[in-house]
Amino acid sequence: MRHMSMVAILLVTALAAPAAAQEVPTANGRVRGIAEEGVEAFKGLPFAAPPVGEFRWRPPQSVAPWQGVREATRFGHDCMRPAADPAFEPSEDCLYLNVWRPAGGPSQKRPVIVWIHGGAFVSGSNVPAEASGAAFARDGVVFVAPNYRLGRFGFFAHPALSAERPDEPKGNYGYLDQIAALQWVKRNIAAFGGDPDNVTIMGASAGGESVLALAASPLARGLFQRVIAQSGGGRTQLLGAQMLSADTEAHPSAEKIGLAFAASVGVDGSDAAALEKLRALPPEKVAGNLTALGMLFLGERSRFSGPIVDGRIVTAQPAEALKRAPPLPMIVGADEADLGLNRAPSKDAAFTAFGPLSTTARAAYDPAGTATLDDVNGMIGRDRTMIEPARLVARTIAANGRPAFLFRFSYVAEAQRGKPIKGAEHSSEVVYAFDRLGALLGDKVAATDAAVASTMHRYWVNFARTGDPNGVDLPHWSTVTKADDPLLDFQADGRVVTKADPWKARLDVTEAYAEAAK
């Protein structure tokens, strides 16, 4: 026959179409997702109204309810930024989240993980293939990944904004988006089979900094019960230490930075008329060149505050805020070759910068005198930015009487070895925690790679279930105590071992320097 029968056409069409998931009632209307990768996914669910027009630089607003069933089969827009994956068009209309749950619908209350993506607060997305929640859902977790406003859309202050609606929190709109997503989870996740009283927040890089900020924020209290912070610093905000309106010795206020941006796009003044002009700017103008490279080389850092100590959402720098916050069980750690910029022109200069601790620093970082300048700068930078702050956070949680589990990720996949890298780089652990190595390496996943990913993923799942990452057939992970900081190391050789930190002398001198500099 030259033509297929109608029955055959319908059969082929049915086989080609993605299988629909069950309908789920939410507070705003019913949604229907898709079945894929052995789980059910609900994509592009709005958790706040589009933050556009008069809602630019306002806290997230309520979602308008809809009639009928909303198809949740496509991801929403990425949040606005200068450069984006062409597969996902960026937009100011971006406050959507994705939910993955086990197949078969809600049969019991399951643990929930809410993932906050990284990207230096200027990039990133809730949709990359390596960060799909499918593996977590297959292991019985309801997994949620929201977007949040980035760059100057998410973190911006201006005197006219401070004067407008003074009852509203100001500046940290990206954090308010994250809180709004957690409030959505509290209201809706039971309908997806999740337990709203067993929520773990998890993030890496800027996401790691975010979950530490949320753990200490009065506005996020009661929305989650556990925290996983990967490479999120922990002493000070990684992009700076701006106060909302008060200049400090080290940093101009966030409002002053906002005025500098406004002047750069031809908007002068600090009154309501200036704010109206700023809200009328095309999104591309607000985004500007605000990428990591733009901040380093194109002068954008002087026109972008990053997260702000505003007194309501963020009450203090992380080290101080976490001391005063209700303590929560936490996994915290960093990568062996994590981020950190130290640009001393010589080794002597690098150690002299430690002041009275210079001799101790030299002995800790270069005991044999054979380290290169690059090595010394790298070690000092990473320790100050990520490694020692992770230990500080773990010690703070332990001192407040809650379980703290400290890790370091040192493993590099076999296919990636031999490249000009020195150990596991910043955020390289993310794909292992998600057990999504195939999305990164394709068919080049070695058996040891897969074993490391499976082990890390199971720790994370166990922690989300019970607050304790330990489980059957896993190397025991000891908690940090007031007297000891045991470290779980995902080692370069593929073994996972709890041990005393071999970098203790380095971290001790870094800690002493940071405390003396307060």
| Contact between residue 304 and residue 151 where contact means Cβ atoms under 8 Å apart | yes
Confidence of residue 5 (pLDDT cuts 50, 70, 90): very low
| Active-site residue (options: 125, 132, 205, 305) | 205
SS3 37: coil
3-state secondary structure of 19: strand
Mean pLDDT on 437-458: 95
Question: Would you say 334 and 428 are in contact if contact means Cβ atoms under 8 Å apart?
Answer: no
How far is Cα 110 from Cα 93, in angstroms, rounded to an integer? 30
- Tokens at 516, concatenated: 């003396």
Q: What integer pLDDT is reported at residue 6 of this predicted model?
A: 42
Classify residue 77 by its DSSP letter: P
Going by their DSSP bridges, the two strands 19-26 and 29-36 should be labelled as: antiparallel
pLDDT at residue 146 greater than cutoff 70: yes
118-138 pLDDT, tens per residue? 999 999 899 877 779 999 999
- Residue scoring higher pLDDT (414 or 418): 414
Q: Is the pLDDT of residue 238 over 90?
A: no
Query: Is the pTM above the cut of 0.85?
Result: yes
Answer with the residue of higher pLDDT: 120 or 82. Answer: 120
Extract long-range pairs of 83-89: CB within 8 Å, 24+ residues apart. Answer: 83/123, 83/291, 84/125, 85/125, 88/125, 88/127
Q: Determine which one of 300, 336, 425, 429 is catalytic.
A: 336
Structure-block tokens of residue 278: 């700023």
Is 426 catalytic? The answer is yes
Give just the sign of the alpha carbon dihedral 272, 277, 278, 279: positive
Structural tokens at position 27 = 């507070």
Catalytic residue list contains 91: no
**Average of per-residue pLDDT across 88-106:** 89
Q: What is the DSSP letter of 309?
A: B
- In this predicted structure, what is the pLDDT of residue 3? 43
Q: What is the pLDDT of residue 46?
A: 98
Question: What pairing do the DSSP bridges indicate for beta strands 39-46 and 19-26?
Answer: unpaired
Token couple for 184: 């959505």
φ, ψ (nearest 5 deg) of residue 497: -135, 135
Q: Residue 64 gets which letter from DSSP?
A: P
Given this model, what pLDDT does residue 106 score? 77
Lowest mean pLDDT among 181-185, 233-237, 291-295: 291-295
d(CA 266, CA 148): 27
Residue pointed to by tokens 């930015």: 385
Q: Dihedrals φ, ψ of 168, to 5°?
A: -85, 145
Please determine, for residue 421, whether its predicted confidence score (pLDDT) is greater than 70: no
In this predicted structure, the answer to whether residue 4 has a pLDDT above a threshold of 50 is no
Q: Is 205 a catalytic residue?
A: yes
> Quick one: CA torsion of 39, 50, 157, 178, rounded to 10 degrees?
-20
Residue range 266-311, pLDDT digits in tens: 999 999 999 999 999 999 999 988 877 666 656 788 899 999 999 9
Angstrom distances, CA of residue 395 to CA of 389, 406, 419, 502: 10, 9, 35, 17
pLDDT at residue 230, as a whole number: 97
Query: What is the per-residue pLDDT across 348-400, written as a single tens digit (0 to 9) for each?
Result: 999 999 999 999 999 999 999 999 999 999 999 999 999 999 999 999 999 99
Residues 418-428: what's their mean pLDDT?
80
Domains present along the chain, CATH in parentheses: 6-516 (3.40.50.1820)
**CA 11 to each of CA 2, 4, 6, 85, 202: distance values in angstroms, whole numbers, following the listed order:** 17, 11, 9, 35, 42
pLDDT category at 442 given cuts 50, 70, 90 is very high
Q: Residue holding tokens 């100057």?
A: 152
Give the model's pLDDT for residue 129: 77
Q: What is the mean pLDDT of the chain?
A: 91
User: Tell me: the pLDDT tens digits for 478-517?
Assistant: 999 988 999 999 999 999 999 999 999 999 999 999 999 8
Q: Are strands 78-79 and 69-71 parallel, antiparallel or unpaired?
A: unpaired
pLDDT at 249 > cutoff 90: no
**Helical (H) or strand (E) element with 508:** helix 504-516
CA 193 to chain centre: 24
Q: Contact, 68 vs 29, CB < 8 A?
A: yes
The rounded radius of gyration (Å) of the Cα atoms in the chain is 24
- Kindly list the distances between the CA atom of residue 192 and the CA atoms of 58, 69, 275, 434, in Å, as whole numbers in the listed order: 29, 15, 41, 20
For residues 94 and 46, give the distance between their C-alpha atoms in angstroms, rounded to a whole number: 8
Look at residue 85 in the predicted model and tell me its pLDDT: 52
- Confidence category of residue 244, pLDDT binned at 50, 70, 90: confident
E strands, 149-259, are: 194-204, 226-230
Whether the pLDDT of residue 240 is over 70: the answer is: no
Active-site pick, 77, 117, 426, 457: 426
Two structure tokens written together for 464: 């989300």
Q: How many CA atoms lie within 13 A of 105 on its CB side?
A: 8
| Beta carbons within 10 angstroms of residue 251's beta carbon | 16
Ordered alpha helix ranges (H), 109-205: 134-138, 151-154, 159-163, 173-188
